[in-house]
Structure 1
């Protein structure tokens, strides 16, 4: 089982992980809805497509843009469709 933890709280947990470029992508349904806040941030990867972000909020602490996903990944990255990855201090183990 792979977990994502931030601020001492497990925010995602799954045994169905896809790893791309060293990042663990969790199924969206394995991520707690109550810790995600929409973000207006977007970035573009030449081979994955346009990424969107979530800000995490746990126990009153905020971690801006700490989760990302590709709403419509390019064909080369179709295996991350419907998945979320983390960074900015989120521990994945």
Structure 2
């Protein structure tokens, strides 16, 4: 599967390596091209996943605010909702970033 913005592949991994949570595909950290991401200071804590790290996505000269996110240290109890899969530092994308198979 791929995360793509304007023809640029910013993450790519086999589908079996991704984790789907609440309708969003989370890519393994090693599959994400970090040069497309900029850490955001937007705060958010999910009641069941824990503290979130947002990222803005670089798209040419544009920087799209908070279009990706990750959970660096999810709550231990969150893994029960993902069939025991550890999604620490996995990255999900939103809006302009298209997820394709």
TM above 0.5, yes or no, is: yes
* Cα separation, 2, equivalents of 1:18 and 1:88: 18
Runs of 4+ aligned structure 1 residues displaced above 6 Å come to none
Give the TM-score, by structure 1 length.
0.91
2:19 aligned partner: 18
Q: What's the RMSD between the two structures over aligned residues?
A: 1.1
Structure 2 unaligned regions, length at least 5: 80-85
Return the index of the structure with the highest Cα Rg.
2
Give the TM-score, by structure 2 length.
0.84
* Cα separation, 1, equivalents of 2:33 and 2:92: 13
How many residues in Structure 1 have an aligned counterpart in Structure 2?
A: 92
* Cα separation, 2, equivalents of 1:77 and 1:60: 37
Structure 1 unaligned regions, length at least 5: none
Per-residue displacement from partner, 1:37-86 (whole Å, max 9, x unpaired)?
11101211111011111111121122111000011101133421120000
